[in-house]
Every structure is written in structure tokens, then in C-alpha cells.
């Protein structure tokens, strides 16, 4: 099997940590060339520290480059109420052994992409700030990017405003730049991530072995569930299941056959009460050429099976 060369741009974040478990457990499928950090769930200082600490903990050996401090235009809006002040709930990791790269995220991405003999896939599980900055400053990289797999956006309904998903809301101008880049984009929005849930019983089964990793994941899960804000418009079981949204961006690359999606024209609202809303022309009324592959369905049982396997692999590696 030919490995997919990827760069991961992330803002840990509890569900980002779950995504990193899936990505690094599947080193038979992925050649992870670089990890960059974005400001999103929490500040750049904390996301970079968390990435280095968590990847050090699971034994990863990869360059981790620091990204931009804030969105392209707006002030950063964080999500500590969901992920905790540290970003990983109440879990503490040892001081990271993986250092901050001497290269900035933009430079590291540029040089990694240009020197590669193969096209690179970018996985983004936070605001698209770093990716947009790369494309604006160095449009020559577009010829060597295979695609961008992004967790963000939504066709119907948001999670930070009635219509906007968090990652799109934090930096809508970055979304605009990326969506207009002409690059192949896969959007794992709330439409599919809400269907890729894990029940509490399934999570107990996944974490049934008493390892240091499962203990830490249990603490994260408990914190996550405690801080979910339920509204009357959520489905009945919303606070009884786990939505690790970011996992979908990697899972799609690993198991594309378990997802359903379609190419649509998508643009983003840049101001007003609907700022950050990704408007998906799923009725195909605009007549505009599709620019995003929008996922909307997933085989949940297969999703849970693959995630369980990844947790077991990482648990064994660090035990």
C-alpha cells in the first residue's frame, strides 16, 4: 500500500487529540511529513504546547511548527468552555520532548511541499488561517497539493451560532481564500461529524483496558461531556454521545469508502449575524461550478471500529 504523504494542521483541543491518535496509529497508510499548529480552540501558545506534549507522549517523531497567532482579520475567539483552560480538559502531560521547530508553519509547509516528489495532502482540523496564508504568500505550492481535508463548516446548522460552525466562524476570511483557491477540498462539516458519533457504551468498550492512555482519554471524555451545551434543537441523545468532529478529516483519507459526499459550490459569509456560515448550494440553484466535496453520511459502525483499533495500537506502543 502506498502511503499518503500528509501535513497536519491542528489546534488541540480534545477532539484534535483523538484525530492525532487515528493519524499516528495508521503509519502504514500515512507518511506524516509535518505537523503545524493553529490558534483556534485555544491560543497558539497552548495549541503548540499541547501538540508537542501529546505527540511526545504517544511516541511520535515529527517536526512541529508554530503557526499564526490569530485569524487573518478578526480577533481570535477560543473554546475553553468546551476544551478547558489548557485545551485538553483536566489531563496533564509531561513536559514535551519534541521541540518547537526553528521554522514557522508557513515556511515549513512551503519547504516540505516543494521538496516532495509526490503531491501532499493537507489535513486541517482547526481554522484555515495557516493554509490560507500559505496559499496567499506562495501560490506556487498549489500545483503540489493533492487536496485539503478540512473539518469545518456545515450545510445545515451551526454549533457556535445558529448557522456557523466553530472553525469557519473563527476565520471566515481564511475559508474564503481556501475555497477560492481552485484546490480539491473535502469538507467534513457538522452534517457528517454529528453522524460519526460514539455512544457512551461504545467508548467504555474502547477504553476498557486499563492503560495510561485510556485513563487519560477517560478524563478527557468526562470533561467533554460535562461541558457540552445542549439546546432544545439538538437531537435527544446529543449529550449522551461523543462527537469527535476532527477525527473525520483523517478517517476520510483512511477509509473513504465509509463516507458519502457530493461536489457542491460553497462560499462563506464574511460579516453580520451569519458570519462564518458556509453556504452550500446543495439544491444546485446558483449555477456555479462546484468547488468543495461535501461529506454528509458515514457508516458509523465502521467509523467506531477504526477508532477503537487506533486507540489499541497507540496504547500498546506506549505501554
Cβ burial 199-212 (10 Å sphere, 16+ → b, else e): eeebbeebbeeebe
d(CA 107, CA 301): 40
d(CA 1, CA 158): 38
d(CA 43, CA 45): 5
SS3 for 34? strand
DSSP letter for 38, please. -
- Torsion angle (degrees, nearest 10) of CA 24, 26, 29, 31: 20
SS3 for 196? coil
Catalytic residue among 83, 194, 243, 245: 245
CA angle, residues 259, 171, 240, in degrees to nearest 5 = 50
Residue 245 falls in the annotated catalytic set: yes
H or E element in which residue 145 lies: strand 145-151
**Per-residue cell: 204:** 467504555
DSSP letter for 141, please. G
d(CA 163, CA 147): 26
**Per-residue cell: 56:** 511526545
What are the residues whose beta carbons fall under 8 Å from the beta carbon of 132, sequence distance 6 or more?
72, 171, 173, 174, 175, 177, 178
Could you list the active site residues?
Answer: 245
Amino acid at each position: 500500500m502506498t502511503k499518503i504523504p500528509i501535513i497536519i494542521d491542528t489546534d488541540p483541543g480534545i477532539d484534535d487529540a483523538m484525530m492525532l491518535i487515528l493519524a499516528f496509529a495508521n503509519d502504514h497508510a500515512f507518511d506524516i511529513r509535518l505537523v503545524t499548529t493553529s490558534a483556534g480552540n485555544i491560543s497558539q501558545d497552548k495549541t503548540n504546547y499541547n501538540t508537542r506534549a501529546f505527540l511526545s507522549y504517544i511516541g511520535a517523531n515529527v517536526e512541529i511548527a508554530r503557526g499564526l497567532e490569530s485569524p487573518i482579520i478578526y480577533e481570535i475567539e477560543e473554546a475553553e468552555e468546551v476544551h478547558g483552560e489548557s485545551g485538553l480538559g483536566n489531563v496533564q502531560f509531561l513536559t514535551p520532548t519534541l521541540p518547537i521547530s526553528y521554522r514557522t508553519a508557513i515556511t515549513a509547509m512551503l519547504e516540505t511541499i516543494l521538496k516532495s516528489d509526490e503531491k501532499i495532502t493537507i489535513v486541517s482540523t482547526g481554522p484555515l488561517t495557516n493554509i490560507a496564508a500559505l496559499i496567499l504568500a506562495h501560490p506556487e505550492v498549489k500545483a503540489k497539493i493533492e487536496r485539503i481535508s478540512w473539518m469545518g463548516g456545515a450545510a445545515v446548522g451551526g454549533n457556535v451560532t445558529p448557522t456557523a460552525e466553530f472553525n469557519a466562524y473563527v476565520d471566515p476570511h481564511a475559508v474564503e481564500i481556501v475555497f477560492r483557491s481552485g484546490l480539491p477540498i473535502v469538507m467534513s462539516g457538522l452534517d457528517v461529524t454529528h453522524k460519526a458519533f460514539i455512544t457512551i457504551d461504545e467508548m467504555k468498550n474502547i477504553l476498557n483496558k486499563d492503560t495510561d492512555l485510556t485513563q487519560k482519554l477517560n478524563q478527557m471524555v468526562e470533561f467533554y461531556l460535562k461541558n457540552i451545551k445542549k439546546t432544545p434543537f439538538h437531537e435527544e441523545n446529543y449529550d449522551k454521545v461523543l462527537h469527535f468532529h476532527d477525527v473525520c478529516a483523517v478517517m476520510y483519507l483512511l477509509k473513504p469508502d465509509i463516507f458519502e459526499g457530493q461536489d457542491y459550490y460553497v462560499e462563506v459569509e464574511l460579516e453580520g449575524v451569519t458570519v462564518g456560515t458556509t453556504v452550500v448550494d446543495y439544491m444546485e440553484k446558483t449555477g456555479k461550478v462546484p468547488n468543495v466535496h461535501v461529506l454528509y453520511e458515514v457508516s458509523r459502525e465502521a467509523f467506531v471500529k477504526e477508532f477503537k483499533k487506533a486507540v489499541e495500537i497507540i496504547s500498546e506502543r506506549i505501554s
